[in-house]
Structure 1
Amino acid sequence: MKMLRLAALLLAFASPVKAEIDIQTVTSPGGIKAWLIEDHNIPFTALEIRFRGGQSLDEPGKRGAVNLMAALIEEGTGDLDSPGFAKARDSLAASFSFNSDDDAVSVSARFLTENRDQAIDLLRRALVEPSFPDEAVERVRGQVLANIRSTEKDPGDLAGRKLRELTFGTHPYSTLGDGTAETVTALTRDDIVAAHKATLARDRIYVAAAGDISAADLGLMLDKLLSGLPETGAPIPDRAPFNLTGGVTVVDFPGPQSTILFGHEGMKRDDPDFFAASILNEIMGGGRFSARLMTEVREKRGLTYGIGSYLVGYDLAEMYMGQFATANGTAAEAIEVVRNEWKRMAEEGVTEEEVTKAKTYMTGSYPLRFDSNGAIANILVGMQMIGLSADYPKTRNDKVNAVTMEDLQRVAKRMYRPDDLRFIVVGQPEGLASTE
């Protein structure tokens, strides 16, 4: 019944957030900083925690350790085994999830106000005192290995692996954080414990909360939850090199289609031209069917079902990327169309009509992201990690609208470099061969 009640509350708060996003900055008595949006209309709170570093902190030869560790956090603590932990969590109508990516270990928690203390105590035990029992290690290892085997047969994953390899040299970004069958098989419980100590530390915490909790209560709650973690973790790696050059890389893969990733170096999030770059990307390959790549590659020529581009911001590198799939016989033509659109953007820029439509879409869709406590907490913690200020939700649309045509024409020449585009083609494309 408690789980049904939580589900009902989640649905009740799934409507768009009203009025302004009023972010409070909170510092706990123990010095933990957090952002908070209070909303006492529903007795429910969403909590998001990020530990910077993530899978990039894997030790040499231990690739996949952080990924495996994050998957094991809720598999037991103290006298609770995996079923016991799940039963205790469910009895509180709470929801916890633990994930990792290249740059962070993420913790998401959802709980009712009436069960807050018990939920936080259970979460603290999982974070601070995970038991990593041998049975769970082997079971979850098997799941990870099955996933690795699956990705080795997926053309999109193969393209992503090759792109990382060509771009990032010996940096951790050059390989997937899942690890390989060899590295994951070789991981020991001691490796998992070491990964926990390296990543879940107080010197790299980012926190956001939204819902039925005051600033004072949030501060006390965070000290209770996180004070038992190590003070410092492993050093964050240096910025990644960017070795990707223009050309084509073909990875042979049987089948009627080619899956294609393409891109070159991107732009830092704090670059003064970032908003102009975002508008340009929306025009080139954003989420609307009127984007240039969709128009030219799909609508006019029927070469693909869908194509898009996006600015990618790792903590330690930036890329400007796109992807699509097409028949082997049309891969060369589609690539040429993309190159030509890149060149046209650099040489001709954009039109007033394109800019008006892109700005209208970007400013109109932005508030819709804040549609639940969970979404709000997730956005707020992400804002902190990329260095945005607490007033960003109130100023973001003004920043988009402030970009001028002159800005866009100038940034288009800087951002779009057709000769630097590298196309990773996984398939058996006709008339295409790898170039150096």
Structure 2
Amino acid sequence: MRRPTVMTLWLWLGALQGAPAIADIEPRQSGLAPHTRLQSLAELDEQPAASRDLKIHGWKSPSGGKVLFIRTTQLPMFDLHVSFAAGSTQDGAYPGLAAATLSLLNEGVPGKDLTAILETFDDVGARLGMSIRHDRAAMSLRSLTAIEKRDPALYLFGQILGKPLLTEQALVHVKNELTDLLKSRQQNAALQALNTHLLGVHPYAQFVYGTEKGVAALSRERVQTFHRQAYSAANAQITLVGDLTLEQAQAISLQVLDALPPGSRMPPVAPVARRQGNGTSQHIEGAGSQMQILLGQPGLIRAHPDYIALRVGHMIFGGENSSSRLMTELREQRGLTYTAQLNTTLWQAASNTVINLKTSPQFSEGVVTRVKSMYRDYAQTGPTQQELDNTLRQLRSSAALNSASNAQILARLVDINQYDLPLDLDFSIEQAQKLTVEQVKAALNRHLSAVQWTVVTEGPSVAQQPLPLPAPETSKGMCRAETGFVAS
């Protein structure tokens, strides 16, 4: 079993701050243009999507944490996900404290060093996972349900969570790994600048893995105190999916909670002062042949009643498909970019709405002006009925595909647990199906400004040129810009 190092955690974290925040409702696209669909599939558009009977069981733990469970019997295994209010927003004066603590958990427990831990999991066919975000840190376990495999895996998992050794030697190793990561990682200066404009000095604007100065200041005592406070039963959320009975799932949740220190709840994340974009622009000089363009505004938290309406509206404008308005205009008609998307970066107490694209530097000012005008026009008219119908049809069709595996089910169930959503995997999709054009239009105008975008660009400064003219309808899909100008 490969050790989940700090670098591995960084890779699993991925492009967190630029990732879509609606995995619960937005399907992945194949990349095919709308006109390349198979006829047999087209005939099924209006058929009701088949869905699995996936009942969510939920209960409160004795310490007050929420536990959610879905039984699946296709495979003799289960996935256990335990998250804590131990993300980077809890770092305080020591940026990197949360990441270092999580990285230390599997470095050693009573009677086992790192090698013995990995060998034990290998011997029983179990897999350990670790992840950290701004709001929460999590560890996961995938195990076979056979009792001779399940029991040793769960026991060791409980020790890792509740009784890590957190040795001085391991801390030195983890601090070195974090420092190397912070020095070597590719800085996304444009995104950092945009977050600073929209979030100020709030912890959401900071890198999840802290700073070199914060990591250097960490001591074993600080890590031990943080673990005792943050990794307590009071801060735990448990999510379970797999071939278990309800009684077995309840017993597993109690076993995990009993292994944790009692503790008390961590303080909630500080509110984010809304910093509405006011037309601020910032350019960061950079090398290369492309200009990165970001346009951002504060968005809605997941629990807001208008979240789904706003998200569906933004899928139509800039979703992950070739027929979105942004892609049709900027790629299909003008050949200015390879991809352009409007995404939502979602946290517990805030979100950012960000339009992200790259283009040739000589067109950057014209592209920014064109995107702003496109959104202004879109907010004034709203989507067409056909655009809304097509998007809702895609969502219906994706419902079963998005719950085909235990991993997909677990991911959706974790979101339900974290954001206190109704106990229904298809709630977001069903809510979206009830939307009207007027409701989507109202949400667009109620919560975002058509003109007050904060714009950050990063790339070389060059003389500007007019945008290429749109392609005629007969040549849709062909690039209009010269080959050297097309973004890669």
Q: What is the TM-score of this pair, normalised by structure 2?
A: 0.80
Q: Distance in 2 between matches of 1:319 and 1:336?
A: 20
Per the alignment, do residues 30 and 255 of structure 1 end up closer, same or farther by CA in structure 2, a change over 3 Å counting?
closer
Q: How many residues align?
A: 413
Q: What residue is the counterpart of 2:247 in the other structure?
A: 216
Matched, 1:133 2:167: yes
Q: Is the 8 A contact 1:68 1:144 kept in 2?
A: yes
Contact 2:131/2:138 (<8 A) preserved: yes
Counterpart of 1:104 (choices 120, 132, 136) is: 136
Aligned counterpart in structure 2 of residue 232 of structure 1, from 256, 264, 270: 264
Picking from 389, 397, 404, the partner of 2:422 is 389
Whole-Å Cα distance in 1 between the matches of residues 380 and 340 of structure 2? 22
When residues 53 and 341 of structure 1 are mapped into structure 2, their CA distance, relative to the original with a 3 A threshold, is farther
Question: Aligned Cα RMSD in Å?
Answer: 2.2
Deviation at 1:53, TM superposition (A): 4.7
Shift in Å, 1:18: 5.7
1:273 aligned partner, one-letter code: D
Map 1:145-184 to 2 at 5 A: 145-151=179-185, 153-154=186-187, 157-184=188-215
CA deviations over 1:337-369 (Å, ceiling 9, x no partner): 211111111122111111111111122223322
SS in 1 for 2:456: strand
1:197 aligned residue: 228
Cα deviation, residue 275, structure 1: 2.1
Q: CA deviation at 1:372?
A: 1.4
* 1:53–1:77 Cα change, 3 Å: closer
- Do structure 1's residue 370 and structure 2's residue 370 form an aligned pair? no
The aligned counterpart of 1:6 is: none
2:399 counterpart SS class: helix
1:183-228 CA-partner distances (Å, limit 9, x unpaired): 2122222222233223212223221111111221222222222223
Q: 1:197 to 1:330 in 2, by over 3 A?
A: farther
Corresponding residue SS for 1:334: helix
Equivalent AA in structure 2 for residue 261 of structure 1 = L
Equivalent residue for 2:439, pick from 407, 416, 432:
407
**Deviates most, 274-283 or 116-125:** 274-283
Q: Residues 346-395 of structure 1: CA distance to partner in whole angstroms, max 9, x if unpaired?
A: 122111111111111122223322121122122112112111111x3244
Q: Which residue of 2 aligns with 1:305?
A: 338
Q: Supply the distance in 2 between the matched residues of 1:405 and 1:31 (Cα, whole angstroms).
A: 41
Following superposition, the deviation at residue 68 of structure 1 comes to 1.5
CA contact (8 A) 1:26 1:33 kept: yes
**Structure 1 contact 281–311 (Cα < 8 Å) conserved:** no
Give the whole-Å Cα distance in 2 for the aligned partners of 1:17 and 1:353: 23
| Alignment match, 1:8 | none
Residue type of the partner of 1:236? P
> Is 1:426 matched up with 2:426?
no
Q: Secondary structure at the match of 1:268?
A: coil
1:346 alignment partner, one of 366, 372, 379: 379
Say yes or no: does 1:120 pair with 2:154. Answer: yes
Partner of 2:364: 331
Taking the aligned partners of 1:17 and 1:111, their CA distance within structure 2 comes to 28
Letter in structure 2 aligned against 1:346: A
Tell whether the 8 Å contact from 1:49 to 1:205 is kept in structure 2 after alignment.
Answer: yes
One-letter code aligned to 1:385: Q
Alpha-carbon contact 1:20-1:394 (below 8 Å) kept: no
Give unpaired runs (5+ residues) of structure 2: 2-48, 465-488
Work out whether 1:279 is the aligned partner of 2:317.
no
CA contact (8 A) 1:298 1:306 kept: yes
2:55 match: 22
Separation (CA, whole Å) in 1 of partners of 2:104 and 2:276: 35
TM-score, structure 1 normalization: 0.89
Conservation of the 8 A alpha-carbon contact between 2:88 and 2:133: yes
CA contact (8 A) 2:302 2:419 kept: yes
Distance change >3 Å, CA 225–CA 346, structure 1 → 2: same
User: 2: CA distance between counterparts of 1:234 and 1:383?
Assistant: 20
Q: 5+ unaligned residues in a row in structure 1: which ranges?
A: 2-15
In 2, Cα distance between equivalents of 1:29 and 1:59 = 29
Query: Residue 304 of structure 1: SS of its match in structure 2?
Result: coil
Aligned pairs (5 A) from 1:83-94: 83-94=115-126
Deviates more, 1:331-340 or 1:264-273: 264-273
2:98 to 60, 66, 81: 66
Whether the aligned pair in 1 keeps the contact of 2:65 and 2:235 (CA below 8 Å) is no
Deviation by residue 1:310-356 (Cα, 9 ceiling, x = unmatched): 22321111221121122222221221121111111112211111111
Structure 1 equivalent of residue 80 of structure 2: 47
Correspondence 1:142 to 2:176: yes
User: SS of 2:425's equivalent?
Assistant: helix
Contact 1:48 1:378 in 2 (8 A): no
Given that residues 266 and 311 in structure 1 are in contact (C-alpha distance below 8 angstroms), is that contact kept between their aligned partners in structure 2? yes
